[in-house]
Chain A
């Protein structure tokens, strides 16, 4: 279970929050001009990256406000939270060490960098 830092109320149990999925999926400014492929991209396609991920949460059983969280989906470590409209803080983190100190190869233990998968 995650401990989520609401930027308004502080750290609370995940049970108090609703999940909003990937953050920063911008609504098209001129919907009428979009073709089917662009709509598919907006409606369905998701980053789903393994690493630093920007996501939305709502403090449903608290202040009821939406905000963004940066979390490492490979480790579930919550790295930062910030209010809607604020820029995401830069993240530089070495990631988790491999269990036996072997070199970091493959998708499981890449260094954590704050590009949110994009």
Chain B
């Protein structure tokens, strides 16, 4: 049963298991340092669809189908789906998942959606409300650009602090028992806003949220950074990670070489022209559902904290001069002996 621990953390005493997971990605992500961990890389990022939104839905379906196959589960066995993306009204998820007939709750947590959906899936399973749940998350560079920024062919310059929205999707099937990676705790974050309003510097906007959530988790559980094999943030990128490290030090939880960021793992910043690194729901989803869970399944990593971060602005709020509220949700994953 889920039980509260401290002020913000929920401990899942039944430790729900990740029965299957899958990550699929676009060409640029496939060419990145962890490209070989993806189950499928699409050289054609339209995926043969007529619109970018349909392409993103197809990415979700691809990741979900592969995760189901790996788990040995049929769609009718899944009790609840938690799916999310960056598009208005969550259309990538709605249209991606509409054919399955599975009860669904679409989620919006900006780039933190993978942790948000995984946390909900794990809590539902641990509470007994479901036997099997799935978390599916995606983003697509081209559908995100046209909604949040400029048309693809527009000749603008991107500042060095900007991040590259990942074309990728990740899916996780959660159930009980088995030998897979377990979800031990989750910490749901609160909105943190220090007045950063530059939409080209979302790492800086999200770093305080990651700091608050991770600090809350350490305080609630009485653990410290050295207790974990890997502490990985969602998509703070180069700028956000640097700020995050400084803020954690001020909180007296200095992070060492066991810290990394999905936005920095996904691309080679020296070669791939992504400026400050990757972002988008698909960024932490793809890195978690390939590289991290592969390493955990192989036993190379046993105790991992994933803190997916999100920038909760919309083009409307930004144009109206609002700052960017940040959010971060944490999942504590363990691989049992």
A, B co-complexed: no
A residues whose Cβ falls under 8 Å from a Cβ of B: none
B residues whose Cβ falls under 8 Å from a Cβ of A: none
